[in-house]
Amino acid sequence: MVALVLPYIQIALAALLVACVLLQQTGAGIGGALGGGDNFSTGFHTRRGFEKFLFRATIVIATLFVVSAFLGLVL
């Protein structure tokens, strides 16, 4: 039963993971890629509110995706 539902779970988790990653804002623009930048180019800042929720949700969804991929491999 789990083997029949698992591909659909993986598709849903993959779509959620892509959405979470795309919704996150990056602190460095093109200047950060070329060596320049501002204070955000170091990558150290405090996450607050929705940004913190999105960051943690991305970690949880990625972990669930890896676990589901491992279950798909085992089953």
List the pLDDT tens digit at each of the 75 positions of the chain.
989 999 999 999 999 999 999 999 875 555 555 555 555 555 677 888 999 999 999 999 999 999 999 999 998
pLDDT tens string 3-16: 999 999 999 999 99
Domain with 64, as residue range(s), is: 2-25+46-74
Please say whether the beta carbons of 75 and 2 come within 8 A: yes
Please say whether the beta carbons of 18 and 26 come within 8 A: no
Q: How many domains does the chain have?
A: 1
Instruction: From 65, 58, 60, select the one nearest 21 (Cα to Cα).
Output: 58
Asked whether residue 40 is domain-assigned, the answer is no
Residue 49 Cα distances to 11, 13, 39, angstroms: 28, 23, 20
Give the integer Cα–Cα distance in Å for 27 and 31. 11
Asked whether residue 15 is domain-assigned, the answer is yes
